[in-house]
Amino acid sequence: MKQKLVVIGAGMASGRVLEHLREQAPDQYDITLFNAEPRGNYNRIMLSPVLSGEKTYEEIVTHDDDWYAQNEITCRFGEHVVGIDRDSRTVTGQNGAVSYDKLLIATGSAPFIIPVPGKDLPGVIAYRDLDDTNAMVEASAKGGKAVVIGGGLLGLEAAAGLALRGMQVTVLHLMGHLMERQLDEAAGYLLKKDLEDRGITVMTKAATKAILGEDRVEAVLLEDGTVLDADLVVMAVGIRPETRLATDAHLEVARGIEVNAQMMTSDPDVLAVGECVELDGQLFGLVAPLYDQAKVVAATLIGEEAAFVPKELSTKLKVTGCDLFSAGDFAEGEGREDVIFRDPSRGVYKRLVIEGDRLVGAVMYGDTADSNWFFGLIKDGTDISDMRETLIFGPAYQGGGQADPLSAVAALPPEAEICGCNGICKGQIVQAIEGGATDLGAVKATTKASASCGTCTGLVEQLLQVTLGDGFEMPTAQPVCGCTDLSHEDVRRLIKSQELKSQEAVWQELGWKTVNGCHTCRPAVNFYLLADWPLDYTDDPQSRFVNERNHANIQKDGTYSVMPRMWGGMTTPQELVAIAQAAEKYGATVKVTGGQRIDLLGVRKEDLPAIWADLNRAGMVSGHAYTKGLRTVKTCVGSDWCRFGTQDSTGLGIKLEKRLWGSWTPHKVKLGVSGCPRNCAEATCKDIGIVCVDSGYQIGVGGAAGMDVKEVERLVDVATEEEAIEWTVAFVQLYRENGKYLDRAYKWLAKVGLDWVQEVLTDPAERAALVDRFDLSQSVYQTDPWAERARPDVAQGFQPLADFTLEAAE
Amino acid sequence: MNWTDIGAVTDVPLRGARLVKTQAGCIAVFRTAEDEVFAASNACPHKQGPLSEGIVHGQKVTCPLHNWVFDLNTGEAQGADEGRIAVYPVRIEAGRILLEISALQNRSAA
């Protein structure tokens, strides 16, 4: 005697149950299958390709009419079940009742509709089944604007599909980055960029307030008041288990229908499977666990032992061209370490999260070819300590040999792409090297590899090394620090060419290996950004060395030195009185410096704002004696007093100092202006030194009197003071725009050559443009940092956060 | 345990630090880019550089005097340098920083 099995819902999970049953016990049950949708089982996760037009419905059907007929399943499709009566063991559909011995509930899930006004307007569609998909296809035929609410898997697939069908699509996402449950911020950023490249507008932190329209949807109103026109609104904020029938039948229901590991509900004759169930507080939305459940359901129905155990899950997004993958747990935490690989030109980001000697999480974007292998390591809890160094390169580089980056490059197949910008693969480069291109420049010239964004330079060099062996000497271009393989010059060039205007953009686009740099790279990047984008980027004090952050020079005992500016080395009795009083008040030691100023040493950090306020009151500002910026302009008394003076060297020095003060430069900049070739201001060993002569001004650059002693080289001779100032400002700006951080001017000149600098500056238009850019930057940065920090609210930050020594004394 | 409120999280700059003075010496309280807080001795074991004035990167700080780098979780010096700074229990509750100061008091009592 056959038993009677009734199944409610013809989705992917119950479909798999039926397959197992018919294979393993073909004659045990008479089966009746209800489905509210007027069709049988299809591959629901392939709805996105149907929406985008890449597949048709027919291609994604899993069980067609023939299959149901052959397997003798009574299909009641398009018929809603209205009730379950567990006492009489019957299921009642719209067209009548049927009795059961065993019942399987597989009602799946329903889309979650956010309760905003207008949610029921025509033109608002949830994205769940084929009918929704068809409705979207139909709506998109008219073109126009679509707003997709929800930046999770479903929402993004809907957005991509609608965009492919020619609609202007905006995605609204409540959280700070897309797919926040599956992706970390970096991958979310890449995904957003990828979608924006496809013309999809992505708005994060966007909360929907209402859907507007008279007879049908016309617009979406956000909490911040933004109104977005919309001909179609797709609601894809999430799903919830469809449990209404189970609740009505008084089965135990929490968020989902509660089942045990055998997939039995609180009634042993009623089983449940799929997205509608809850096991130990967990819900299931991805297909892999549903298929595992289906196996257990079939076994339980046949009377075999089986238990469902939830496993680690992974996610892939099915948007053609957006490859992403995430699995496991990738939150940052104590004892967890990240291994990060970024290749911005290819849009590749991989992050492995390691805890102890296990891989616990993985996020990949752009290249997910090895995702299954990584997923296996997570699932199996494999000990990865032996392959840790090359782990992120994937399975191809494991097994045997030393963890040497060269061996990874050597192991690459000839068709492996090295230069993503120009599509050059390893084989072509090796061929070029064997053909005589034995250095980076020659490889660039013959193959174009690394000639565009330069990110693959390191790989090309490694190929040179592998191919030539000892015949190749690695060039001296050092990476900035351990956080990146790029040199300072590369970073500067890329910040300009890719218009990177924030630290986050630099870390991401240039593939930094650390979260936010280190003490070596961050001050450099901070300078490059503020020098190249003065209006877009804001100087970050936390990326500066202590002296530049506290605007005073820290001394070996932790106290500071304070040095007010004395324009051109000139001062007044009033200033000297104020300095003397401040020195007495704060117990400072007084020292006359080589830069014609007065230094107050031994000031405590807590007293800095107060001494600054005192000096400010006497009209003095910071002397920037602590910056990589303009320090001092040393002068002699010139034609004002000196019987040999040819020009007003003091006046020119003051003008230059007033023009240049406050500017940040790659390293410190000191100037000197001497009134005659006797050179009392020692101008010829300054970064910029001007020597006045009868016929005008000799401008020399690249002098130094520090670890290296250098005499300036003559940049140009000019006739007037105006020209001298113009050339000086233009030179400083050229150095600001091109110098490597912490290279004094002479070091920079040794790299670029004085000839090149002269060539640039000789062009009047170029000179004027440099001066303009300098003045633009000064409009932001020529402010007295002391005055800003002497304000009581800011000054508070110079005090200890808390002081328990006082309490103890009471 | 003696968890003491020493100020608001926002009193410490992001990727920065503030000083807390105690009988047992100065403590640096750090705040990372991810809004985590750490507390450690302010003095670098090398030449007593004030670590609260260092650059904070990731969960590390670099001494402003000679660039020794310390992991704020363990206090261990990184790289080739050998040394360790004391670290102290600290946590955030409702936007306030709570420092466990009993160790610091004990030492002063001793």
Residue-wise DSSP of A601-656: EEE-GGGHHHHHHHHHHTT--B--TTSSBEEEEEE--HHHH-SS--S-HHHHHHHH
| Residue A441 forms part of a structural domain | yes
Question: Which whole number is the average pLDDT over B56-80?
Answer: 91
Partner-chain residue, chosen from A515, A556, A804, that has the shortest CB–CB distance to B101:
A804
A517 and B62 in contact by Cβ < 8 A?
no
A509 with A389, same domain: the answer is no
Query: Model-level pTM greater than 0.80?
Result: no
CB atoms within 10 A of CB B26: 18
Partner-chain residue, chosen from A334, A542, A808, that has the shortest CB–CB distance to B15:
A542
A290 with A334, same domain: the answer is no
The alpha carbon dihedral of A259, A261, A263, A264 has a sign of negative
| Residue A381 forms part of a structural domain | yes
Bridge partners for A554 per DSSP: A560
Chain B, window 58-77: residues with a beta carbon less than 8 angstroms from a chain A beta carbon: 58, 60, 62, 64-65, 67, 69, 73
B57 and A523 in contact by Cβ < 8 A?
no
Closest CA to B62 of A546, A554, A486, A485: A546
Q: Domain ends where: A184, A218, A237? A: A237
Residues in chain A with pLDDT values less than 70: 312-322, 331-332, 397-408, 419-423, 451-456, 473-477, 807-810
Map tokens 């320090």 to a residue. A631
Q: Determine the pLDDT at residue A153.
A: 81
Tell me the C-alpha distance between B34 and B84, whole Å. 24
SS3 A430: helix
**Residue count (chain A):** 810
A393 with A422, same domain: the answer is no
| Residue A643 forms part of a structural domain | no
C-alpha distances in Å from residue A568, one per residue of A133, A250, A409, A651, A724: 75, 90, 58, 8, 16
CB atoms within 10 A of CB A307: 11
A802 touches chain B (CB under 8 A): yes
Q: Determine the pLDDT at residue A317.
A: 61
| Per-residue pLDDT at B107 exceeds 60 | no
Inter-axis angle of helices A721-738 and A754-762, to 10 degrees?
Answer: 120
A546 and B101 in contact by Cβ < 8 A?
no
| Residue A309 forms part of a structural domain | no
A329 with A391, same domain: the answer is yes
| Residue A433 forms part of a structural domain | yes
Partner-chain residue, chosen from B6, B14, B101, that has the shortest CB–CB distance to A801:
B6
Tell me the C-alpha distance between A123 and A335, whole Å. 50
A99 with A121, same domain: the answer is no
A489 with A564, same domain: the answer is no
A515 with A437, same domain: the answer is yes
Q: Domain ends where: A372, A403, A434? A: A403
CB atoms within 10 A of CB A65: 12
A542 and B29 in contact by Cβ < 8 A?
no
| Residue A796 forms part of a structural domain | no
CB atoms within 10 A of CB A482: 12
For A710-774, give the secondary structure using H, E and C.
ECCEEEEEECCHHHHHHHHHHHHHHHHHHCCCCCCHHHHHHHHCHHHHHHHHHCHHHHHHHHHHH
Q: Determine the pLDDT at residue A810.
A: 44
Minimal Cα–Cα distance from A353 to chain B, Å?
Answer: 15
Cβ atoms of A664 and A781 closer than 8 Å: yes
A550 touches chain B (CB under 8 A): yes
In terms of CA atoms, which chain A residue is nearest residue B52?
Answer: A546
Which ranges in A206-336 belong to alpha helices (H)?
244-248, 287-302
Alpha carbon distance, N-terminus to C-terminus of chain A: 92
Tell me the C-alpha distance between A204 and B95, whole Å. 25
What stretch of H or E contains B104?
helix B102-109
Which tokens sit at A41? 């089982």
Tell me the C-alpha distance between A395 and A727, whole Å. 58
Q: Range of A738's domain?
A: 652-781
Q: CA neighbours within 13 Å on the CB side: how many for A175?
A: 16
The beta-strand segments (E) located in A38-164 are: 73-77, 81-85, 90-93, 96-99, 102-105, 109-111, 124-126, 145-149
A705 with A615, same domain: the answer is no
Which tokens sit at A470? 């000892």
Q: What is the DSSP string of A153-170?
A: HHHHHHHHHHHHTT-EEE
Chain A, window 515-544: residues with a beta carbon less than 8 angstroms from a chain B beta carbon: 515-519, 522-523, 541-544
pLDDT for A435-458, tens place per residue? 888 888 788 777 877 755 455 677
Q: Domain ends where: A237, A268, A283? A: A237
A496 with A438, same domain: the answer is yes
A518 and B15 in contact by Cβ < 8 A?
no
Partner-chain residue, chosen from A546, A801, A808, that has the shortest CB–CB distance to B23:
A808
Task: Check which CATH number belongs to the domain holding A608 and give it.
Answer: 3.90.480.10
A802 and B6 in contact by Cβ < 8 A?
yes
A777 with A684, same domain: the answer is yes
Mutation to test the A interface, candidates B52, B55, B99, B108, most A Cβ within 10 Å: B55
Inter-axis angle of helices A521-532 and A764-781, to 10 degrees?
Answer: 110
Minimal Cα–Cα distance from A544 to chain B, Å?
Answer: 7
B8 touches chain A (CB under 8 A): no
Closest CA to A168 of A208, A216, A200: A200
Task: Give me the amino acid identity at A123.
Answer: G
Closest CA to A199 of A157, A150, A147, A160: A160
Across chain B, what does the average pLDDT equal? 89
A145 with A222, same domain: the answer is yes
| Interacting residues of A49 by C-beta distance below 8 A, sequence separation 6+ | A55, A60, A318, A320
Task: Check which CATH number belongs to the domain holding A87 and give it.
Answer: 3.50.50.60
| Residue A798 forms part of a structural domain | no
| Interacting residues of B102 by C-beta distance below 8 A, sequence separation 6+ | B1, B2
C-alpha distances in Å from residue A700, one per residue of A615, A636, A673, A721: 34, 17, 10, 15
pLDDT for B1-45, tens place per residue? 789 999 999 999 999 999 999 988 899 999 998 889 999 999 999
Q: Determine the pLDDT at residue B72.
A: 95
Domain count, chain A: 6
Partner-chain residue, chosen from B12, B67, B108, that has the shortest CB–CB distance to A801:
B12
pLDDT for A509-559, tens place per residue? 888 988 899 999 999 999 999 999 999 999 999 999 999 999 999 988 889
Q: Determine the pLDDT at residue A96.
A: 93
Tell me the C-alpha distance between A786 and A609, whole Å. 7
Q: Determine the pLDDT at residue A752.
A: 83
Task: Check which CATH number belongs to the domain holding A457 and give it.
Answer: 1.10.10.1100
Burial of A161 (0-12, 13-18, 19+ CB in 10 A): buried
B13-88 fold: Rieske Iron-sulfur Protein (2.102.10)
Burial of A438 (0-12, 13-18, 19+ CB in 10 A): middle
Which tokens sit at A810? 């009471």
Minimal Cα–Cα distance from A592 to chain B, Å?
Answer: 24
A267 with A176, same domain: the answer is no
Q: What is the ipTM of this complex?
A: 0.91
Cβ atoms of A522 and A516 closer than 8 Å: yes
Instruction: For residue B66, list chain A residues with Cβ-Cβ distance below 8 A.
Output: none
Which tokens sit at A690? 């001007």
